[in-house]
A and B are shown apart, each in its own frame.
Chain A
Amino acid sequence: MLRTRSSVIRRIRDFFTLQDYLEVQTPVLSPDLIPEPSIIPFQTRMHHPFRGSRELYLVPSPEVHMKKLLSWGSGSIFQIGTCFRNQEQIGHLHNPEFTMLEWYTMHADFLDSLEMMKDLLSDLSSFDEAGICSRDPVVMTVSEACWNYARFDLEHCQDIDMLREAVESKEHVETEAIRSATWEELFHRLFLTWVEPELPADRPCFLTHYPRQIDCLAKDIPGTPWKERWEVYLSGRELANCFSEEISYDKVASYYCRSSVELPGRYRDLPEPPPLVDHSFPELYRSDHGSCSGTALGVDRLIMALTGAQDIRGVILFPLSDIL
């Protein structure tokens, strides 16, 4: 496994380097983060011998620093680095510390990145012991997947009451949770129960055009309820997530505003305060910012899919699996 892992990572590095992407290494320890209510970071404190102390965070993704480099004119870049997520369950698909491949392509959109992802998978075919990654992928929209596997018309459920009705017709649990759930929560209840487990597992499966009501920094597709976003599944597991990156200052700033408002609520039951927010981030988009597409891919899960490993503990060294 050690050798396969090392060879796969070297091959990924060659794949991007040969296409003139610049490999970068950005900080793992950061003084502030972008507000993401669904991600709880690891917090630590830096102590200065004379100037007191302050919070620092282990980054849940290298996004902020990489986007800063893009706005400074780096051109297309990639990074294979360590990321950390707290409060996620430790298990066969999750380790609190994991390896992320993140790449940004200038003057490209999510569909260009989709082709790039297909090329990357085919470039890794010599490692494909499980015979899944190198098969012809399936590409469908989220809306098609919802219809194909759950007979659920997502396009007509953009209204929260209609979506709630769809959930209630399928689910058996009648709880306060459904009545008070947001659109995003209701969508995921349906999607994770009825759609995701049915996705083809014998080949790569791309789901494109995610609903706009799942708030994120992907571009909206005008006149539709969708965003320029895809995810790819390998062996039924979510592997990578890609956006055409939002570059309008107003839209980035308003996302920032919405997420910052949500953040304290997420920390109500937690001992630590919400992380400090990097307020300078939206400013990157004040000046002209070329269009770009970004993809984040879980390298450990990729190696699982290539080798056929069922447990992330089989592809990483010294997993934190049994400490709790």
Chain B
Amino acid sequence: MIKAGAIDKGMALLIKGQPYIVVDREFVNPGKGSAFARLKLKSPQTGQVLRETMKTQDNVEDITVDDRDCQYLYFDGEAYHFMYTDTYEQFTIQVEGFEDKQYLMKEGETFRITFWEHTPLDIVIPYKVVYEVTEAEDAIKGDTVTGASKVVTIETGLRVKVPIFIKQGERILVNTETKEYIERVNS
């Protein structure tokens, strides 16, 4: 058990016997009254998002999770195939609840996966990742308007809005939370 006031983003909680990941938490002190933690929780199994507000003094059941490094092999349309990097044992994670991850994970890369009693709760994607631009239209000659942008496709299939000077084959740094372009990476 932990106090709701100690809850942080990324923690795992047990609610009515089901595990949830804290995706957002904000502390609120109303003009008059007790202090509260306003939470957004996501079920890794169904993708369902719950909104909850708890008194910071309330007790919540937190769960002990296990983080393991796993190599992402491929996606078969229904499930992600992974391999534990220490035992080389392979396993799958169903896509439900993790739909957005397919556009952020590159095959062959290693990710940290959070497990609770063998149930994968979260695939942790680093906050900033470098991706290659695989499809980009050429900028229109003479278009020199400051701040002009276009949409390109990166190697995972994600479409990202970028400045007009980005070309196919170049590498860009992307914020994986907002899925927004950060900067061009010169290799």
Any B CB within 8 A of the CB of A231 = yes
Nearest Cβ in chain B — how far from A270, in angstroms?
11
A-B contact pairs, 18 of them (CB 8 A): A91-B26, A94-B29, A173-B16, A173-B54, A176-B59, A181-B55, A188-B36, A192-B30, A192-B38, A193-B51, A194-B51, A210-B32, A215-B32, A216-B32, A231-B31, A238-B31, A241-B31, A241-B32
Total residues of chain A contacting the partner, CB 8 A: 34
Cβ–Cβ contact B27 & A175, under 8 A: no
Please measure, in the bound complex, the distance between the C-alpha atom of A231 and the C-alpha atom of B50, giving whole angstroms. Answer: 27
Cβ–Cβ contact B27 & A88, under 8 A: yes
**Contacts A88-B27, A89-B5 hold; do A173 and B15 have CB atoms under 8 A apart?**
yes
Interface of B, secondary structure class, is strand
Any A CB within 8 A of the CB of B34 = yes
Interface size class of B (residues with CB under 8 A): 20 to 34
Q: Which of A171-223 contact B (CB under 8 A)?
A: 171-177, 181, 184-185, 188-194, 196-197, 210, 214-216
Please measure, in the bound complex, the distance between the C-alpha atom of A39 and the C-alpha atom of B145, giving whole angstroms. Answer: 53
The residue of chain A having its C-beta at the shortest distance from the C-beta of B18 within the complex is A172
Residues of A within 8 A of B50 (CB): 172
Nearest Cβ in chain B — how far from A82, in angstroms?
17
Residues of B within 8 A of A189 (CB): 36, 53-55
Cβ–Cβ contact A214 & B16, under 8 A: no
Q: Which of B4-20 contact A (CB under 8 A)?
A: 5, 15-16
Please measure, in the bound complex, the distance between the C-alpha atom of A176 and the C-alpha atom of B31, giving whole angstroms. Answer: 25
Any A CB within 8 A of the CB of B35 = yes
B29, B53, B60 interface centre (most CB from chain A within 10 Å): B53
